[in-house]
Each structure stands twice: as structure tokens, then as C-alpha cells.
Amino acid sequence: MVCLIKLVILDLDQTLIDTIHRFHLVFNMMLEEHGAPQVDWPRFIRMYSDDTLDQLIPGDSRSFWVEFRRRYCSVAHPLDRAYYGAGRALEWLRERRLRAAVTTGRECRPADVWRELEQHGLAHLVDSVLTMADCSEEDELTWSRTGLIRLALGHFGVDSSEAVFVGDYWVDMESARRAGVHPVAVRTGFEPEHRLLKHGAKAVLAGIWELPSYLRQVLESST
């Protein structure tokens, strides 16, 4: 239950920034390096949505994904773009003096993420960036954000009941639930709604552009 929102923690890829084509590119690069055949776009999107890409990975999938998330910042794709409404959503938070922290499963320098946010015109609206390079907390879920969420709470001195986490993946919702913050999902990550709800999403939005109206309702209900 959110008492009074002070902090909104946001996922980066497929939540604020559309990098799904970069994901496909890096995934295929790594499949090739591991001696596996590349996957075409239609099959990739289908398996991405079904969360079955592990079936294409030869050997240990966990070590594959660890290397994948380390490499993600070193590659760009011409179709990378900020989602419609991302800037306005962040502006809305700033107008209400709510802090905005961006977290990412990428294991790269925060400076690399700041650079991308700047390229997409979002950096000046963000208060903090946390990546997996900042977090040593282990979790059985490869893409867990629980440790990063706790770091963000500590950084801003905010209680979990005063924070919202916005993400696109079921692991994002599970991570938020474990950290005790309010999980909000967006559908721009191709994740089925039922899976997001199953893992704790309190609301499932079409995209980041719907976040202001949702948070307005939450704030009004808490007063």
C-alpha cells in the first residue's frame, strides 16, 4: 500500500526507452559466438514474449545473460528511441517534486546510461541512475531488481511504502514485490498482462504515457 509517494523508480529498457531491436541484435551476436544459429525477428519476438529465449542458448543460460547485460551498453541500434510520453511522464514527476530514479539490468557504468538518457532528451528529468554494476546482491532471478530498488530507497532515504516501481517484465514486478514497493507494469515489453499480474503488478498500463494519470489517482486516494 502506497501511503505517500516520494520516489518513482523506473526500469529503462522497454519501459522508458525502446531498445528491443538492440536486444535482438546483441542476442544474435552472442548466439553466433556460442556456436548457435541466429533467430529471426518474428520468432525472436514470439519467444521474447513467451519468456522462452533460454531454449535457444547453448550451455549455461545464466552466464550467457550475465555477459549479455555487460555488453548491452556497448551496442546501439538505429531504432533505439524514447517511448512516446516518456519525457512528459518524467516532467510530471518533477512538477510534483517526486524523485525519479532509473534502474537497469545492464551491468555497465551509470555514466553510459546517463549518456543515453541525454541522447533521448531525458537526463535532465532524472535524479539518479543505478545499474547492476552498482549492486552486488545475488538473486536466483537473473534480471532481479530487488537489490537496485533497495539501493534507490536507501539513496533517497525513502521507506518502501513511499515508493513506486515501474517496469515491463514479470521479474520487475516480482522484484518490486520482494522489496515492498508498489509495482506498476507497462505493456511495452511484450509481456502478457496475466503474467505481470501474477507476479504482483497493482496496475498494468499500456505504456509510460499512462503513468501520470495512474499516479494522480493513487495520490488522490491517499489523501
pLDDT digits (tens, 9 = 90+) for 140-166: 667 889 999 999 999 999 999 999 999
CATH number listed for the domain at residues 7-18+81-221 = 3.40.50.1000
Give how far Cα 182 sits from Cα of 107, 172, 176, Å: 24, 11, 7
Nearest Cα neighbor of 123 from 105, 110, 132 is 110
| pLDDT confidence tier of residue 222, bands split at 50, 70 and 90 | confident
pLDDT digits (tens, 9 = 90+) for 27-52: 999 999 999 999 999 999 999 999 99
If you count them, how many residues does the chain have?
223
pLDDT of residue 178: 95
pLDDT digits (tens, 9 = 90+) for 119-141: 999 999 999 999 998 876 555 66
Give the residue extent of every domain in the chain: 7-18+81-221, 20-74
Query: At residue 150, what is the residue type?
Result: R
